[in-house]
Structure 1
Amino acid sequence: MTSMTNYLIEPLAPLVFRSGKPFGSQASAADVIFPLPSAAAGLIRATSINQKQASMDEHSVEDVANQSYQQVLSIKATGPYLARFDESLQHVEILVPKPADALYFEAKEDSDKESDTVAKVQLVRLAPKPLDADCGSDLPDGLLPVQMHEPIKGKPKPGPTYWTIEHLKKWQAGNHIDVNALQREGVSQLPIDLRTHVAIDTKSKASKTGQLFQTASFDFGYTKTEGENTDGRSIWQDRRLGFVIQTDQKLDEDMVTFGGERRLSKFSPIDSLDSLYDDSLDELLNKINNANGFRLTFMTPCIFANGYLPAWLDATTKKGTLPNTAATVNLTACAIDKWQPVSGWDSILWKPKAMRKAVSSGSVYWFTLDSKLSLSDMQQLVHHVWSDDSQDKRDGFGSAIIAPWQLDS
């Protein structure tokens, strides 16, 4: 496994990451999307070229087979991951998308007063579970529906969209998570900055007709908080948000432009991050083998050849051999919020990329084992990038966390 170095992107201005919607004069929060892995990979490759770590003398090329172009594309990157950090950069914390098997639910409970009820937001776990005998579905053959363990009267509610790694570990282990703790330590919504741009006529000093428009961007500057713990006073938070990218390139600290409109960010190598796994490889291997199954939770969007289904799985039986191993597994179920469009601009070929559909970040896949995994299998799986195409792997589409899971009998 190639050694990967962690780099922190510290935004110095609101960053623009546009969706694929047609450009219009009015902007909204829906016009800005979380940056795709290909954007992070493009940043790493551009920085590698600028720092003479990669050779690319031509401004643009016409042939995909161009040797220099292929050399640049061979640079590996994973991310970007949302990160929270302090000014000293001594503690950089990764935040991950809410897993698709978690649902915020407002259920009514009896209060202390008679004939009175109160609404309380709960975190409900979803898991593969067979339908009742008198029910049916149009799911593909071999897949179980993903359902709540126990029916709850109520309705879904919004909640934190990004969790800490520690909360995700607890969730994967089957432990209860307090919603209030999630709201305190997670991130409910990324701050959006809306800016109005106008072209001024030099003679009249008025705006030019048809040249007034808006842009939406992520504003990751320092923020204020106020509430009961601060006696109503506004206090600046000592932590802010940014991005972490991992790559096999050794790069220097630099100033970079991440996203559109050439907004500046500080690019810095960081020593360490919180581990994605509390267990050693041996312990993780034993837990997965004893459970006879595992679950994948995707941290970045993943692009499979057959829509939601990896190419190494048979479309009929949902059985296949895990990549880079001899172990066969069965796909039991998957939870996907909705497909995610993936496109962009190729700055070397100088043309737009074709739009593709990806399995969204936060999606969860459950597998059962036909045979036990070996330690070498485990070493491959914890670092594996799960997209089918080799270039999508190098771009970082399909980073996931693996955890033990046992199918209820």
Structure 2
Amino acid sequence: MTLMTNYLIEPLAPLVFRSGKPFGSQASAADVVFPMPSAAAGLIRATSINQKQAQIDEHTVDNVTNQSYQQVLAIKSTGPYLARFDESLQHVEILVPEPADALYFEAKSDNNEAEETNAKIQLVRLAPKALDPDCGSDLPDGLLPVQMETPIKGKPKPGVAYWTLEHLKRWQAELEADNKNKSKLTFDELQKDGLAQLPIDLRTHVAIDSKSKSSKTGQLFQTASFDFGYAITEGKATNGRSVWKDNRLGFIVQTEQSLDEDMVTFGGERRLSKFISVNGIEELYDDSSEELLRKINDAKGFRLTFLTPCIFANGYLPSWLEASTKKGRLPNTNITVNLKACAIDKWQPVSGWDSILWKPKAMRKAISSGSVYWFTLDSGLSLSDLEQILYNVWSDDDQDKNDGFGSAIIAPWKAD
């Protein structure tokens, strides 16, 4: 693996990342979306150009075959990942999307003493599981439905949208034989340390007529943006004054480029952020490569949990898998795997603006971050095989890989 440097994007103002919806006068929280990997890649490339780490001769170029343009596009990055940090930057933690194999479920149980029904929200695991013989589905051939491991009476509930990386690793490790007797991750823990939603700032804008000093007719509109400033701690006050949290939110981007601390514009409306190199970021894996290899080979399978959206050539299906059998060879290895199931929330539109060709990019569909894919192995992995896929970017197109679409974390999985 090439050594990557972690850079923190610390917003100095609310950041605008608009959805693909037509622009209207009224804004809502749905009008702002988590930034795509291509936005972070564009930031890294623009900063590289500004700091003379990359060279491009023209302000705009006519086509994608331009040599300078291709050199800029070859700069790789991963992210952005949501980050939570303190003012000293001594503690920076990554927050990841809720995995699609987790469900918040309000399970009902009878309380005999009170003679009433109590409801408590639980964290429920979803996993590939065959349907009963008298049931059917329209899933593609070879894929198992993803269901609750144990049926529970109740209904799904909303909950934490972003987990800490530590919580995700605990969630994945619960299925390992070595962790059967350890305490399981709970909804209360997620609610305490995770984030239910990102703070949204709604602003009203108006165009002023220079002569009358009044608003221009039809030119009143709103924008929505992420407000990552310091927040008030809910329910706490001292001597009538609010208590402010000692941490705030930003983004982490990883790249091979060696860049200086700078002021950058990330997102729309050219709002400023600090761009800082940071150390001590938590690793994706607690186990050594050798230990992880042993666990995956013992389980004869693994699952991928995507941390960023991923773009495959065939919709939900990677190009290296056969459409009819769902069998294929892992990228950069000779190991054959079988896709058994996948859990995907909904597809995400990916578009944007090409600031060098100076035209909009075509819209494409990506599987959403948090999606989970389950695979079985036809043969054991070697250490070199594992190292090829451990930090692999899983999109099919090389440029999408450079942009960071398809970062994922691997964990062992044993099929029933």
TM-score band by shorter chain is: over 0.9
What does 1:25-104 align with in structure 2 at a 5 Å threshold?
A: 25-104=25-104
- Please state whether the residue corresponding to 2:351 is helix, strand or coil: strand
Q: What's the counterpart of residue 340 of structure 1?
A: 348
Deviation by residue 1:197-216 (Cα, 9 ceiling, x = unmatched): 10111222210001111000
Shift of 1:369: 0.3
SS at match of 1:46: helix
The amino acid that maps onto 2:365 is K
d(CA) in 2 for partners of 1:157 and 1:16?
A: 29
Task: Give the letter for the 1:58 counterpart.
Answer: E
Equivalent residue for 2:328? Answer: 320
2:359 maps to 1:383: no
Q: Is the 8 A contact 1:226 1:233 kept in 2?
A: no
CA shift for structure 1 position 152? 1.5
SS of match in other structure, 2:363: strand
Q: Write the distance in 1 (CA, Å) between the matches of 2:161 and 2:112.
A: 32
Alignment of 1:275-290 (within 5 A): 275-290=283-298
Residue matched to 1:20: 20
Where do 1:2-401 residues align within 5 Å? Answer: 2-111=2-111, 113-174=113-174, 176-227=184-235, 234-401=242-409
8 A Cα contact 1:227 1:233, kept in partner: no
Shift of 1:111: 2.8
Compute the displacement of 1:107 (Å).
1.7
Taking a change above 3 Å as real, the CA distance of residues 204 and 113 of structure 1, as seen in their structure-2 partners, is farther
**In terms of mean alpha carbon deviation, does 41-50 or 55-64 score higher?**
55-64
Distance 2:140 2:291 in 1: 34
**Quick one: structure 1 residues 108 and 228, their matched pair in 2 at CA, closer, same or farther if it must change by over 3 Å?**
farther
Q: Whole-Å Cα distance in 1 between the matches of residues 327 and 197 of structure 2? A: 38
Residue-by-residue CA offset, 1:152-195 (whole Å, 9 max, x unaligned): 12111110000001110111112621111101100100000000
- Name the CA distance, whole Å, in 2 between partners of 1:42 and 1:6: 16
Other-structure match for 1:404:
412
1:31-82 Cα shifts (integer Å, max 9, x gaps) = 0000000000000000000000000121111111000000000000000000
- For residue 386 of structure 1, report the CA deviation from its aligned partner: 0.2
Query: Residue 233 of structure 1: CA displacement?
Result: 5.8
| Cα separation, 1, equivalents of 2:202 and 2:312 | 34
Taking structure 1 as the reference length, the TM-score comes to: 0.98
> Which stretch of the first structure deviates more once superposed, 75-84 or 266-275?
266-275
Residues of 1 paired with 2:243 and 2:139: CA distance? Answer: 51
Cα distance between partner residues in 1 of 2:197 and 2:359: 32
1:318 deviates by 0.5
| Residue identity matched to 1:385 | V
CA distance in 2, matches of 1:198, 1:232: 36
- Consecutive aligned runs of 4 or more in structure 1 exceeding 6 Å deviation: 228-232
1: CA distance between counterparts of 2:340 and 2:107? Answer: 29
How many Å separate the matches in 1 of 2:240 and 2:150? 40
Taking the aligned partners of 2:358 and 2:78, their CA distance within structure 1 comes to 23
CA contact (8 A) 1:226 1:232 kept: no
Flag the 1:231–1:107 CA change in 2: closer, same or farther, 3 A: farther
Whole-angstrom distance in 2 between the partners of 1:165 and 1:104: 18
Within 2, Cα distance between the matches of 1:381 and 1:29? 36
Write the distance in 2 (CA, Å) between the matches of 1:151 and 1:96.
27
The 3 A distance-change label for structure 1 pair 119 and 229 is farther
- Alpha-carbon contact 1:285-1:374 (below 8 Å) kept: yes
C-alpha displacement of 1:234? 2.3
User: Shift in Å at residue 114 of structure 1?
Assistant: 3.6
Which residue in the other structure is 2:180 paired with? Answer: none
Q: Answer whether contact 1:15 1:259 (CA < 8 A) is retained.
A: yes
- TM-score by length of structure 2 reads 0.96
Distance 1:380 1:237 in 2: 41
* CA distance in 1: counterparts of 2:91 and 2:238, whole angstroms: 24
**CA 1:156 to 1:239, structure 2 compared with 1: closer, same or farther past 3 Å?**
same
The two structures, once aligned, show a CA RMSD in angstroms of 1.3
Return the letter of the residue paired with 2:279: D
**Letter aligned with residue 64 of structure 1:** V
CA separation in 2, counterparts of 1:123 and 1:378? 30
1:360-398 deviations in whole A, cap 9, x for unaligned?
000000000000000001111111000000000000000
Question: Which amino acid in 1 is paired with 2:110?
Answer: D
